[in-house]
Amino acid sequence: MAVGAGWLLDDNYGCTDKLFLSTLKKDSPVLLDPDQCQLVLVDYQVKLMPAIQDEARVIRKARLLAQMAHLMAIPVWATTQRAEALGPFVPELAALVPPPLDKLAFNACADGLIDVLQPPHATSPAQGKNARSLPKHLRKPAAVEPLAPARPVIALAGVEAHVCVLHTALDLLANEFEVWVVSDACGSRQTRDSDAAFDRLAGNGVELVTAEMAAFEWLGGADHPDFAAALGYIKAA
């Protein structure tokens, strides 16, 4: 037996503490589940993208995400930043997204994204036990409790990574969404800014993945009925 990092390990480096193993398994990150996901694409605009480092790669990876989302019936949402100044979505993506939510705030949640991801009608009245037994004129208005979103996992990508993507991701976390940022479909004008953004996001509990990782996790296996079509999208990206 050997001792490593405070745990007893067998000669094959297997932990002998079954309770620890069960806890580790339960707390390990899961794969992206297409039935739990929504995709949010942030600010891929015609007057902004030319300033982004590795623009062509960022657009290709975002297109892969949008194509996969359509293939897997994952809801897709889009935002623009001051479209009258920075223009519409780039043509490579425009046909794959609904009309974007135009915003002034860098944080898309502050300008209505939360209402799209978790509609305001998704609420339930919280009645007291004896509410119906009281005369109608004595009843208090029912409190309204928000329901959890049907799809609580957000796959998020866009530009710039250190501004609108970062601000939006952190607010989504604060609103109790699970956030996965697709790093190679994100970009900034300076690489050091996107690198700093990814470090900060990871430090706050955001999962970082690549577009290809997301695609294969959504598929789950080569036996998926749309695997051949998905593979074509993946190879083109």
Question: Could you give the C-alpha distances from 202 to 38, 110, 170, in angstroms and in order?
Answer: 20, 22, 11
Check residue 8 and give its pLDDT: 38
SS3 content of the chain, % helix, strand, coil (to 5): 45, 20, 35
Mean pLDDT of 36-64: 98
Domain tally for the chain?
Answer: 1
pLDDT bin (cut points 50, 70, 90) of residue 150 is confident
Task: Let me know: does 67 contact 235? Beta carbons within 8 Å.
Answer: no
Q: Which residue has the higher pLDDT, 48 or 135?
A: 48
Q: Does residue 1 lie within any of the structural domains?
A: no
Q: Does residue 40 lie within any of the structural domains?
A: yes
pTM: 0.79
Q: Does residue 16 lie within any of the structural domains?
A: no
Mean pLDDT of 121-136: 48
Structural domain for 207, as ranges: 35-116+153-236
Give the closest residue to 191 by CA, choosing from 53, 56, 48: 53
Phi, psi of 164 (to 5 degrees): -65, -40
Output the DSSP codes for 83-115.
HHHH-SB-HHHHTTSPSPEEESSSSGGGGTHHH
DSSP SS3 for 99: coil
Q: Does residue 139 lie within any of the structural domains?
A: no
pLDDT at residue 212 above 90?
yes
- 87 torsion bin: left (phi>0), alpha (psi -120 to 50), beta (else): left
Check residue 140 and give its pLDDT: 52
pLDDT bin (cut points 50, 70, 90) of residue 127 is very low
Q: Does residue 2 lie within any of the structural domains?
A: no
Report the CATH number at residue 48.
Answer: 3.40.50.850
As a whole number, the mean pLDDT across the chain is 84
Q: Does residue 127 lie within any of the structural domains?
A: no
Tell whether omega for the bond before 160 is within 30 degrees of 0, i.e. cis. Answer: yes
Stretch among 25-29, 138-142, 166-170 having the lowest mean pLDDT: 25-29
Q: Does residue 5 lie within any of the structural domains?
A: no
Check residue 149 and give its pLDDT: 72
Q: Does residue 53 lie within any of the structural domains?
A: yes
